[in-house]
Chain A
Amino acid sequence: MAASSRRLSYCLLKSNYTALLRQVTFQKSRCVRSLSSAITTETGKDDKDPFVVFRSQEVQRILKKITGLNVEKVSHMVSSTLKKPTYKLLTEEETQEAEESARKAAEWKLQMPPFMLPRKPIHDILSKDPDLEGFDSSKYVFTDISFGVSNKERLIVVRDTDGTLRKADWDERDRVNQVYNPTTGQVYIAPKMFDDENLERVLNDDKYIYMLDRACVQFEPDNPDFIRVTHKTFEHINKNRKFDVLRSTRHFGPMTFYLTWNNKIDLLLVDMIHRGLMDDCIDVVNLYVILHPTSKTANNMQDKQDIERVKTYCQNDAENKAELELSIQAFEDSLRGKSKQTA
């Protein structure tokens, strides 16, 4: 029984991933898009594939927990068309039910976009025919539109002007799929805002959620452009310590994962301590131990509890050691002050 339920929960987790969603805020429209084809599971040989770690149950639990769930913030993220408010008279039970459904809807919206390696480029030449060189002045792109073939599996081939027949590369695939099987919110040519010089300008205006949401709609999660844009945004947030903007959005988990993966969690920890979120802080350190099992922190972590874990990290692997130590001390002092007051 226990085994079967475990299997069931594993299946649920998997199915959860196959239906990762994309939401975006537009002026007056809302679009939700499922990423059913996002999973290109690398075979588990490469230990350094972050996606395998990212989707593990424990990591997911930690990321979900530290994201938090502020129903008001989540429901405000999507500005739909203006409507008149409706007023209802509800009993106590009905109110609870309504709250529960709102919480569920919010949780559904908080599903995280996966953290993946860039996809491998396609260099697949099917045939070379030098006799055919110059048959036309432009390329031909052939798409199989047979019923029931997904965008990921669709066969798309290109006949180049020099007569070679090859499989279409990722750029061509994305464009052609958008022509024959368009996705709401996605644009044929990626917007200029994702170019490096414009990206910087948008980020300087603190439009982090806008940028990340837009990237989620435009790109697949293993698209190098998606990875470039999101990582730059995370870097910018880390540099300017604007972590709180992303709290209670679906991007907080990937951001934490990115920072932990790249050994940059010091500022995040300091921010969490300042906001009095010591539990989250400990969770982040636990995450660090999971992602870096050979680090000094992981080696010295045996039978340490609560705040001691953060201290161990601070002593062993922190880069901003002084600042982190200071904030831990301040936190402990404030705790002591509180306990004195109550006594």
Chain B
Amino acid sequence: MPRIKYISHLKIRLKLYGCTNRPFYHIVVMPHKKPRQGKELEQLGTYDPMPNMFNEKLVSVNFERIQYWLGKKAEISRPVEHLLGLCGFLPIHPTSYLEATRNRKKMAEAEQNKEEKAESGS
């Protein structure tokens, strides 16, 4: 028997706001075939990807409504899944771990390069 994956027609995803060089997102729920900037069914939160002066990225989520839409079989897009994983609402997304290991590797390499430069310089 062929296995058919259930595809929801509802999607919780990011809708781009802001202006040139200053992105800002709303977390919204909308039918999955609509364009990114299409009309949403409901806004569920916001996400500001640019850190503020205290080096914080602010995310606000209406968890009550998210639970409601999940009950309506809404699917969550990957960026939103990533955010909800970080806040402890869902299990942490595997890509977050991947990104973390990559970043750590990069940082270690950068440090090594610095040390080598310092040694060759002196």
A136 interface residue per 8 A CB criterion: yes
Query: In whole angstroms, what is the CA distance A12 to B40 when docked?
Result: 46
How would residues 14 to 28 of chain A score, 1 for a CB under 8 Å from any chain B CB and 0 otherwise? 000000000000000
Quick check: B64 and A157 within 8 Å, CB to CB?
no
- Neighbouring B residues of A163 by C-beta, 8 Å: 100
- Neighbouring A residues of B31 by C-beta, 8 Å: none
Q: How many residues of A contact B (CB 8 A)?
A: 30
- Neighbouring A residues of B101 by C-beta, 8 Å: 131
Question: CB within 8 Å of A: which of B39-64?
Answer: 45, 51, 54-64
Query: In whole angstroms, what is the CA distance A172 to B65 when docked?
Result: 24
Query: In whole angstroms, what is the CA distance A172 to B96 when docked?
Result: 24
Summed over the interface, the residue pairs from A and B with CB atoms below 8 Å come to a total of 82
Quick check: A133 and B59 within 8 Å, CB to CB?
no
Contact check: which of A126, A135, A145, A172 meets B100 at CB < 8 Å? A135
**In this complex, what residue of B is CB-closest to A163?**
B100
B6 interface residue per 8 A CB criterion: no
A143 interface residue per 8 A CB criterion: yes
Query: In whole angstroms, what is the CA distance A284 to B88 when docked?
Result: 54
Question: CB within 8 Å of A: which of B7-65?
Answer: 45, 51, 54-65
CB distance from A235 to the nearest CB of B (A): 32
- Neighbouring B residues of A143 by C-beta, 8 Å: 58-61
Quick check: B63 and A144 within 8 Å, CB to CB?
yes
Quick check: A133 and B56 within 8 Å, CB to CB?
no
Contact check: which of A126, A135, A165 meets B99 at CB < 8 Å? A135
Quick check: A140 and B61 within 8 Å, CB to CB?
no
Quick check: A142 and B104 within 8 Å, CB to CB?
no
Question: CB within 8 Å of B: which of A159-199?
Answer: 159, 163, 165, 172, 175-176, 179-180
Q: How many residues of B contact A (CB 8 A)?
A: 27
Quick check: B64 and A147 within 8 Å, CB to CB?
yes
Query: In whole angstroms, what is the CA distance A179 to B59 when docked?
Result: 11
Quick check: A142 and B86 within 8 Å, CB to CB?
yes
CB distance from B26 to the nearest CB of A (A): 12
Query: In whole angstroms, what is the CA distance A146 to B45 when docked?
Result: 9
- Neighbouring B residues of A133 by C-beta, 8 Å: 100, 104
B92 interface residue per 8 A CB criterion: yes
- Neighbouring B residues of A165 by C-beta, 8 Å: 86-88
Contact check: which of B57, B63, B64 meets A136 at CB < 8 Å? B57
How would residues 116 to 140 of chain A score, 1 for a CB under 8 Å from any chain B CB and 0 otherwise? 0000000000110101111111111
Query: In whole angstroms, what is the CA distance A90 to B107 when docked?
Result: 80
- Neighbouring B residues of A290 by C-beta, 8 Å: none
Query: In whole angstroms, what is the CA distance A140 to B59 when docked?
Result: 7
Are A146 and B87 CB-contacts (below 8 A) given A138-B51, A138-B55? no
A39 interface residue per 8 A CB criterion: no
- Neighbouring A residues of B97 by C-beta, 8 Å: 131-132, 135
A53 interface residue per 8 A CB criterion: no
Quick check: B92 and A132 within 8 Å, CB to CB?
yes
A sample of 7 cross-chain residue pairs with beta-carbon separation below 8 angstroms, ordered by A number, consists of: A132-B92, A134-B104, A135-B103, A140-B56, A147-B62, A157-B88, A165-B86
Q: A139-B55, A140-B86 are in contact. List 4 more A-B contacts (CB 8 A).
A: A127-B88, A140-B83, A145-B62, A165-B87
A-B interface, 3 closest residue pairs, ranked by CB to CB distance from nearest: A142-B87, A138-B51, A135-B100
User: Which A residues contact B (CB, under 8 angstroms)?
Assistant: 126-127, 129, 131-147, 157-159, 163, 165, 172, 175-176, 179-180
